[in-house]
Amino acid sequence: MPELVFFSGTMDCGKSTLALQIGHNRSARGLQGVIFTRDDRAGEGKLSSRLGLVTEAVEVSESMDVYGYLVDQLSTGGRVDYVIVDEAQFLALEQIDQLARVVDDLGLDVFAFGITTDFRTKLFPGSQRLIELADRIEALQVEALCWCGARATHNARTLGGEMVVEGAQVVVGDVNHPVEDTGYEVLCRRHHLRRMTAASARAGALSPDVLPVTQA
């Protein structure tokens, strides 16, 4: 039976890498799929992983009818055996409903990948809808790590290395960013609550008020 499967996790836990692997495995068996993405770090119409792998994808705009796009492909002689959606947290609620319809009406497996909560620990609307509709929810098994070495469970937005908790829900950035730019970092709950990023922890450790150094 076809399924809508939601693969979720924090940033930096291998979601895009798994999406690429699923596509590779199926194409190696002669299957043809459609890959959708939105706001990928590599640019429009790209699905990329932090390991350096990149493939072409269909960019989902705010007004795009995902179900209608696939129906057009099939009705004009195109072949679609499965669907992959990366950055699914950015999709609109109606687009998530369309993915469920792709499974039910077109009989295609849909593999959606996304992070569950934003930098404020609030659910992305797209992820919430996927949790409500998915046939199966899979937590990624590759654990991202906080700077302290503990399991990272929260996504943080940073500006100049300092954690911020206000602003628009979606601002495209990356975990590999210059410290003066807007970026993202994964933290354990304890350090997310304390707003302690790797940069601020390093600065605190170097402060003579925190760690006095005496010479023999």
Spacing of C-alpha 134 from chain mean position: 16
**Span 30-37, mean pLDDT?**
96
pTM of the full structure: 0.75
94 catalytic, yes or no?
no
The region of weakest confidence among 43-47, 121-125, 173-177, 193-197 is 173-177
**Span 55-63, mean pLDDT?**
91
| pLDDT over 50 at 216, yes or no | no
The residue among 199 and 206 whose pLDDT is bigger is 199
Q: What is the CA radius of gyration of the chain?
A: 20
Longest pairwise C-alpha distance within the chain: 80
Pair 44, 175: CB distance under 8 Å:
no
| pLDDT over 70 at 205, yes or no | no
What pLDDT is stored for residue 211 in this prediction?
Answer: 41
Check residue 85 and give left, alpha or beta (phi > 0: left; psi -120 to 50: alpha): beta
CA distances from 144 to 87, 128, 155, 199, 202 (A): 17, 21, 10, 18, 19
What tokens appear for 72 in the block?
Answer: 């057009």
Q: Which of 29, 32, 105, 28 is nearest to 66 (CA)?
A: 105
| pLDDT over 70 at 194, yes or no | yes
User: Which residue among the candidates 3, 56, 59, 87 is catalytic per the annotation?
Assistant: 87
DSSP H or E run through 85: strand 82-85
State pLDDT tens for residues 64-99.
999 999 999 999 999 999 999 999 999 999 999 999
* Separation CA 145–CA 187 (nearest Å): 7
**Span 176-192, mean pLDDT?**
77
The residue among 43 and 155 whose pLDDT is bigger is 155
Per DSSP, 26 falls in state H
**Span 7-36, mean pLDDT?**
89
Mean pLDDT of all residues in the chain?
Answer: 85
What pLDDT is stored for residue 171 in this prediction?
Answer: 64
User: Where do runs of H (alpha helix) occur along 36-187?
Assistant: 66-75, 93-106, 125-133
Instruction: Report the percentage of the chain scoring pLDDT > 70.
Output: 86
Per DSSP, 122 falls in state P
